[in-house]
Chain A
Amino acid sequence: MAQPVELPSKIEVGPVIDEGHSLASVSDKIAGIVIKRKITIGWVFGFLIAFGFLQLLMAGATWLFVKGVGVWGINIPVGWGFAIVNFVWWIGIGHAGTLISAILLLLNQSWRNAINRFAEAMTIFAVMCAGMFPVLHTGRPWLAYWLLPYPNTMWLWPQFRSPLVWDVFAVSTYLTISAVFWYVGLIPDFATLRDSSKQLWKARIYGMLAMGWRSSARHWQRYEKAALLLAGLSTPLVVSVHTVVSFDFAVAQLPGWHTTIFPPYFVAGAIYSGFAMVLTLMIPVRTFYGLEDIITIRHLNNMAKVTLATGMIVGYGYMFEAFFGYYSADIYEKFMIWNRMTGPYAPFYYCLIFCNVITPQFLWIKKLRTTPLILWCISIVVNIGMWLERFVIVITSLHRDFLPSSWGMYWPTRWDWAVYLGTLGLFMTCIFLFVRVLPMITIFELRMLLPGARVKEPVAQ
């Protein structure tokens, strides 16, 4: 009875949900966090810090709009700096959410249920942060909407051969579909919140959001179809998004950008950083809200394994970038990789190798995988590493390209930092609000993991 559903006995690191939970208890526990739990001083403190960082974004963006992108460190030849680095980094982080909720759903991985809601939220917030940069980084941000295809009196249209237009489509689609998927997933839980709210106003709000969901079997049937379809569509979508992002570089002819390995290696990198970010957020949250029994060690263990796997793919990518450089017999490629390893930005390169290739190797050790604190530290390192990777790709390729006469350097200004830290603030602010107002775990899917959810074989005649 205590043994959870569809759980192969060889899994040794514990169940996806601890014993002693009933349909009622999980519902109350998770809904309770939102509707009963008082706002703690710790939450307020954390929220204020995040909100403070958000103000950096406000200041940074304002100054940027007043003066122009020149307030950043970018120049000719390095036309793209922090803005694009951060854009790619944030998009990458987003990927874990969709991956967990879509791909693992298709693969019928039951352990995803405890973490997908949170991961999806993270996706949406990350994509929000990412989505800002393409607008901010344009020279005339007030005209950024010209990248959208809309009929206008000038009869002008976007140029559909440009990867930046592909970006617009990919990112906006990604944001829309993720949001829809997320909301669809939330409907039954809104119903739960509605029904267990004591205050009328809460019941009203959640009621509105639940659209009058009444857990009818006929609804559930269509609901599951839609969910499955969305998952099916999101899976190629999530792969395509970072592929398109990688096209920003791969389609250009710059040595260090123009390479066929980019799409797979970007996607892997995205999942890598995404899972790292989920860990970074989940580990503290499960402790603060006492969810160790729902987000169990097994979840951490699995995520660590995914991180390790994708980390290896990324490492393989680095290896082959270097190999291609050498093997291409192309003087520019050769120089580019050599410059990465020995040029003025070499420290960044080695730092990234350490963060993304060395560090994950610790995850081979089960003890470390199952020790939340260490796992958390590793996840932080990985996040930094993935940011560095984007920095190295964008900057070192640009700063020394074909003609030595036009080589230059790029160093970020305080405004580069303000905007970057600002988006971190925005992200955390959203997370803090999210854990307070929405069930951070999909309750109805969790219920399905419970023994009580099993249907005994009806008596045969």
Chain B
Amino acid sequence: MSAHAIEEIDTLYGLMAEFETAGELVEAARRVKEAGFKNFDAYSPFPIHELDDAMDLHDNRVSLFTLIGGLIGCCGGFGLASWVEAVALPLNIGGRPFISAPMYIPITFECTVLIGGLTAAISMIVMNGLPSPYHPVFNVERFTDASRSKFFLCIESEDPQFDRRQTAGFLESLNPEEVAEVAR
């Protein structure tokens, strides 16, 4: 059985069900989850917040990284200005003190936003594993509609519960448009 499963995993990425509306997808996702599947994903042409609960996705690392990035920018900005004016190039500029704190605020702020913003975008992209030019789900003919009008749910063969026939049957029971096999 297991050997058979291995062989399946090499050839088959998973089984994909296609749905007409967002509602059906959310419902399906909830059922798949209840059925105890781990490795599955839903695909929709726009973000559906209900899915986050249905699949219970609560990844807050993006926010965390952004916060860290922002703080680095903040200290970096003020640090840079102060270091330059007091250490690197200490000059008498209009009789002002080396650390003219109020005049370094704009720099500090801009650096905060710059670093923070960049970490937000980059961490999102990286954690989503992008860029990934190739992915098996694209092998499904009708999957092009995922970015247009249709909703998909794919249970991957890595999932310990995965069984070609049973899982297919299970998916059918969610009354999708159709169920397709996703080749690797």
Interface residues of A (CB under 8 A from B): 22-24, 27-28, 149, 155-161, 163, 165-166, 169-170, 172-173, 176-177, 180-181, 183-184, 188, 191-192, 194-196, 207-208, 211-226, 229-230, 233-234, 236-237, 240, 243-244, 247, 444-445, 447-448, 452-456, 458-459
B71 contacts A by Cβ under 8 Å: no
CB–CB B147/A188 < 8 A: yes
Tell whether A229 pairs with B144 under 8 Å between CB atoms, given A160-B85, A217-B29, A222-B62: no
CB–CB B118/A223 < 8 A: no
- Of A24, A165, A181, A456, which contacts B107 at CB under 8 A? A165
Q: Which 5 A-B pairs have the closest CB atoms?
A: A211-B131, A226-B124, A23-B149, A195-B144, A456-B23
CB–CB A169/B144 < 8 A: no
CB–CB B62/A453 < 8 A: no
Closest to A192 in B: B147
CB–CB B113/A177 < 8 A: yes
Q: How far is the CA of A105 from the CA of B30 in the complex (A)?
A: 29
Closest to A226 in B: B124
Q: How far is the CA of A221 from the CA of B55 in the complex (A)?
A: 11
Q: How far is the CA of A244 from the CA of B27 in the complex (A)?
A: 50
CB–CB A212/B27 < 8 A: no
- Which residue among A28, A191, A218 has the maximum number of chain B CB atoms within 10 Å of its CB? A218
Interface residues of B (CB under 8 A from A): 21-23, 26-27, 29-30, 41-52, 54-55, 57, 59-60, 62-63, 66, 70, 77, 80-81, 84-85, 88-89, 91, 93-94, 96, 100, 103-104, 106-107, 109-111, 113-114, 116-118, 120-121, 123-125, 127-128, 130-135, 137-138, 143-149
Closest to B136 in A: A214
Q: How far is the CA of A183 from the CA of B109 in the complex (A)?
A: 23
Q: How far is the CA of A251 from the CA of B34 in the complex (A)?
A: 63
Q: List 18 A-B contacts (CB under 8 A).
A: A149-B80, A161-B96, A195-B145, A212-B131, A212-B135, A217-B44, A219-B128, A220-B51, A222-B124, A224-B47, A225-B124, A229-B63, A237-B113, A237-B117, A243-B106, A444-B47, A447-B46, A455-B50
Q: How far is the CA of A222 from the CA of B47 in the complex (A)?
A: 10
Residues of A within 8 A of B89 (CB): 155-157
Residues of A within 8 A of B149 (CB): 22-24, 27, 452
Secondary structure dominating the interface of B: helix
Q: How far is the CA of A444 from the CA of B137 in the complex (A)?
A: 20
CB–CB B48/A217 < 8 A: yes
CB–CB B148/A27 < 8 A: yes
Closest to A251 in B: B103
CB–CB A236/B113 < 8 A: yes
Residues of A within 8 A of B45 (CB): 23, 27, 188, 192, 215, 444, 447
CB–CB B121/A180 < 8 A: yes
Q: How far is the CA of A385 from the CA of B102 in the complex (A)?
A: 33
- Which residue among B26, B103, B106, B123 has the maximum number of chain A CB atoms within 10 Å of its CB? B106
CB–CB B146/A212 < 8 A: no
- Of A170, A221, A447, A458, which contacts B27 at CB under 8 A? A458
Given contact pairs A169-B106, A214-B137, A453-B22, enumerate 16 new A-B contacts (beta carbons under 8 Å): A160-B85, A166-B110, A176-B114, A191-B147, A211-B132, A212-B131, A213-B130, A214-B146, A217-B55, A220-B48, A221-B47, A222-B124, A225-B124, A233-B66, A233-B70, A454-B22
Q: How far is the CA of A28 from the CA of B125 in the complex (A)?
A: 26
Q: How far is the CB of A454 from chain B (nearest CB, A)?
A: 7
Q: How far is the CB of B177 from chain A (nearest CB, A)?
A: 14
- Which residue among A169, A448, A454 has the maximum number of chain B CB atoms within 10 Å of its CB? A169
Q: How far is the CA of A156 from the CA of B91 in the complex (A)?
A: 11
Q: How far is the CB of A20 from chain B (nearest CB, A)?
A: 15
- Of B43, B132, B133, which contacts A217 at CB under 8 A? B43
Tell whether A220 pairs with B47 under 8 Å between CB atoms, given A161-B96, A237-B113: yes
Q: How far is the CB of B45 from chain A (nearest CB, A)?
A: 6
Closest to B58 in A: A221
